[in-house]
Amino acid sequence: MKKTNKKILEEIIRVDHAGERGAIKIYEGQLLALKTFKQDENLKKQIEEMKEHEKEHYEFFDQEIKKRNIKPTKLLPLWDLLGVGLGFGTAMLGKKAAMLCTASVEEVIDVHYKSQTYKLEGDEEELKNKIIKFRDDELHHKDIAYESGATKDGLYGLLDKIIKTSSRIAIKVSEKI
Ligand SMILES: [Fe+2]
Ligand SMILES: [Fe+2]
C-alpha cells in the first residue's frame, strides 16, 4: 500500500486543526455581535447550527493531533483573535456581510480540502474519508450562506477578496509554523 508522506500528513492535520478552530472563533465573534448590538434571532440560530458542525470537525482534528503527536500551529492565539475579530466585524456590518464571510471562507476551504484528498494515500483512507465528509458539510454551509443573503455585489466583492486572501495566507502559514 502506498504510504502518505509524513511531512505532508503533519501539515494537513496541523492546518485543518487550526482552520476548524478558526471557524469556531469566527462564529463566536458573530454570535457576540448578534447577542449584543445586532439582535437577530434567525441569523443567530443558523450560525449556532453551523458552529456545532465546526466543533465536530475541530474535535476530530484535535484528537488526531494528540494521537499522532503533531505540534499545533504556534499561531493559534493569533488566529483566535483574528477569527473573533472577523466574525464580530462582519456581523456588525449586517446579515449580508456575515453570510458572505461564511461563503468566502467555505469557497477557500472547498478547494483546500479537495486538494488534500489527493495527497492522502491508501494508508490514510480513514482521514481522507473524514475530510471528504467535512468538505461536504462546508459546501452545505456555503449554500446556507447564499440562501441567507450572502452577496458579492459592489463593496461586498472587495470584502470577499480580502477574506479569501487572508484565509489563504492563514492556511499557508499554519501548514508550516
Ligand atoms: Fe468545518
Ligand atoms: Fe463550515
CATH code, domain carrying 145: 1.20.1260
The answer to the question of residue 1 being in a domain is no
Where does the chain have alpha helices with state H? Answer: 6-36, 41-67, 76-93, 95-119, 125-147, 155-176
Which of 169, 153, 134, 46 is CA-nearest to residue 96?
153
The answer to the question of residue 104 being in a domain is yes
Residue 114 has a pLDDT of: 97
What are 44-68's pLDDT values in tens digits? 999 999 999 999 999 999 999 999 9
Residue 70 has a pLDDT of: 96
Residue 96 has pLDDT above 90, yes or no: yes
What are 22-37's pLDDT values in tens digits? 999 999 999 999 998 8
Residue 39 has pLDDT above 90, yes or no: no
The answer to the question of residue 111 being in a domain is yes
The answer to the question of residue 54 being in a domain is yes
**Residue 38's pLDDT band (boundaries 50, 70, 90)?**
confident
Q: How far is the CA of 5 from the centre of ligand 1 (A)?
A: 24
The tally of CA atoms less than 13 A away on the side-chain side of residue 160 is 18
Q: How far is the CA of 54 from the centre of ligand 1 (A)?
A: 4
Q: Considering every ligand atom, which ligand is closest to the CA of 55? A: 1
The answer to the question of residue 136 being in a domain is yes
The answer to the question of residue 23 being in a domain is yes
The answer to the question of residue 20 being in a domain is yes
Domain count within the chain: 1
| Containing structural domain, residue 168 | 6-176
Q: How far is the CA of 60 from the centre of ligand 1 (A)?
A: 10
